[in-house]
């Protein structure tokens, strides 16, 4: 069987100019878990995500995703990896010149030889899975609200039935009700589709309600634990984060 770790990051160094963002960072993501990644502004949460999916070149270190070393991967391996993960960017990053259904169809057209009719049906299935109404499929991203755009982006990320889902601040900019719905949607899809989720977030409620483990980026490295372990942690930033007024409110429930 495949290894229990779907993502392994070892000794990662990221540096922009003179500023070192990650210094010898190690991180494991287990199969089937939701890993939340938190940290203060500028600690490189999004950079970490971008580095793992290959949008950002690392200075040093090794990243293995689904058993494939992303640096040494051959073209076909790299391409197969693209099929096996989906990424949801902050504001959906939908292609603005395409309708929602066409957006979802893009990865299907690119990576499969399915017929037009099947692609159409699968696109609408994904629209249904993420809880969008059917008429959203024919709309353009500019005609949707922020929350709907995120759902549409999620549908596109799920188009190829990936094993890993990367989410960059999925609840940022949503109202509390919308955010809670989105949290539930992620949890629900993660369970029914057996996904591994890498979730970058600022939202404490999301952390508490959806994640299995949490990776805190501090001092250019990361500290991983369940929320109960982190609650007992003595590091000043972690303490401040989980025991500050917002942290207390979220954790209490």
Partner 1 sequence: MAPEAGWIEGKHERDTLVFNAGGAWSMRELARLVREVRAAIPARAALGGRTRARIDLARVSILDSSGAWLVADTKRRLDALGLATEIVVGRAADRALLDRVDKALKRIGTLTPPAKPHALLAALANLGEIVIEGLKKGKELLSFFGLSLVLIVRATSMPWRIHFKAVIKHLETTGLNALPIVGLLNFLIGVVVAFIGAVQLKKFGAEIYTVDLVGVAVLRELGVLITAILIAGRSGSAFTAQIGTMKVNQEIDAMQTIGLNPIEVLVLPRILAMMIALPLLTFYADMMGIAGGALMAMLSLDISLTSFVRTLHEAVELKTFLIGFLKAPFCAFIIALVGCFEGLQVSGSAESVGARTTMSVVESVFLVIVFDAFVAISLSILEI
> Rule CB under 8 A: which residues touch partner 1?
2, 83, 96-97, 112-115, 118, 120-122, 124-129, 131, 133-134, 138, 142, 158, 160-161, 188, 191-194
Burial readout 115-137 (b: 16 or more C-beta within 10 A, e: otherwise): eeeebbebbbebbebbbbeeebb
CB 123, min distance to partner 1, A: 10
**Closer residue to partner 1 (CB): 36 or 141:** 141
Say how far apart CA 94 and CA 211 lie, in whole Å.
Answer: 26
Residue 250 beta carbon to partner 1: minimum distance, rounded to whole angstroms: 28
User: Measured from the CB of residue 210, what is the shortest distance to partner 1 in angstroms?
Assistant: 17
CB closer to partner 1, 59 vs 83: 83
Report the Cα 98 to chain-centroid distance in Å.
23
What does the chain come to in residues?
253
In the complex, least distance from residue 219 CB atom to partner 1, rounded to whole angstroms = 35
Residue 101: CB minimum distance to partner 1, A: 10
CB nearer to partner 1: give 37 or 119: 119
Burial 208-229, CB ≥16 within 10 A → b, else e: bbbbebbbbbbebebbbeebee
User: Given the complex with partner 1, which of 160 and 164 has the nearer CB atom?
Assistant: 160
Rounded to 10 deg, the angle between the 116-129 and 146-157 helix axes is 130
Report yes or no: 134 and 120 within 8 Å, Cβ to Cβ.
no
CA distance 220 to 210: 25
Smallest distance from the beta carbon of 107 to partner 1, in angstroms? 10
Q: With respect to partner 1, which residue has the nearer C-beta, 69 or 121?
A: 121
Shortest reach from residue 44's CB to partner 1, in Å: 26
């Amino acid at each position: 069987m495949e290894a229990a770790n779907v993502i392994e990051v070892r000794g990662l160094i990221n540096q922009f100019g003179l500023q070192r963002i990650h210094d010898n960072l190690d991180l494991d993501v287990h199969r089937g878990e939701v890993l939340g990644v938190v940290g203060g502004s500028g600690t490189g949460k999004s950079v970490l995500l971008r580095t793992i999916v290959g949008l950002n070149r690392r200075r040093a270190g090794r990243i293995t995703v689904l058993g494939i070393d992303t640096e040494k991967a051959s073209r076909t391996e790299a391409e197969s990896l693209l099929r096996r993960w989906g990424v949801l960017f902050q504001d959906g990053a939908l292609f603005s010149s395409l309708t929602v259904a066409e957006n979802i169809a893009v990865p299907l057209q690119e990576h499969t030889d399915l017929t037009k009719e099947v692609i159409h049906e699968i696109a609408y299935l994904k629209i249904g899975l993420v809880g969008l109404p059917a008429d959203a499929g024919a709309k353009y991203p500019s005609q949707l609200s922020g929350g709907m755009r995120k759902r549409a982006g999620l549908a596109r990320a799920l188009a190829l039935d990936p094993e890993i889902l990367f989410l960059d601040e999925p609840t940022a900019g949503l109202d509390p009700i919308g955010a809670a719905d989105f949290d539930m949607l992620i949890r629900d899809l993660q369970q029914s589709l057996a996904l591994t989720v890498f979730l970058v977030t600022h939202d404490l409620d999301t952390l508490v309600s959806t994640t299995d483990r949490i990776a805190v980026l501090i001092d250019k490295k990361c500290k991983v634990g369940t929320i109960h372990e982190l609650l007992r942690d003595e590091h000043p930033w972690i303490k401040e984060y989980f025991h500050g007024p917002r942290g207390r409110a979220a954790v209490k429930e």
